[in-house]
Amino acid sequence: YFCVICNKNFTQKSTLTTHSQVHTGEKPFSCSVCNKSFAKKSTLTDHSLIHTGEKPYACSVCNKSFSRRSSLTLHRHIHTGEKPYSCCVCNKSFSNRSGLADHNRVHTGEKPFLCKICNKSFSVKSTLIKHNYVHTGEKPYS
């Protein structure tokens, strides 16, 4: 099975169906507490733990707990030093996929995070968030 929009291949039709929501923006699973919507039921299930405060996944090294198994997996890289995500341009390695994605924008020059107030764009979302303090006058680090 392959996606007619991006030509990505899948071994199961159900996986293709779920993938197609990336292109349509369809998010059929809604949180009953905050109404936030999700493309996958498993993502909604993970999200629900935010409201309950439950953190069932604990690190066996330092006992820090997480609401998502994926967060625990990423956290473990702190202890192991593992950096499985490498840049194909400069070979710099990262402990998580989002770190690599942020880094790739150094090479592409892409700045997808736009300030709605002054239209300045940023390559990393956290930089945009910090930039917004210029407009709000908030000083969270003082």
Entry pTM? 0.54
The CA-atom distances, in angstroms, between 45 and each of 17, 25, 27, 68 are 19, 19, 14, 10
pLDDT score, position 140? 74
Contact 24, 6 (CB under 8 A): no
pLDDT tens, N- to C-terminus, the chain (142 residues): 999 988 889 999 998 988 888 888 889 999 999 999 998 898 898 889 889 989 999 999 999 999 888 889 989 988 999 999 999 999 999 988 889 999 999 999 999 999 999 999 999 999 999 999 999 888 777 6
Contact 86, 92 (CB under 8 A): yes
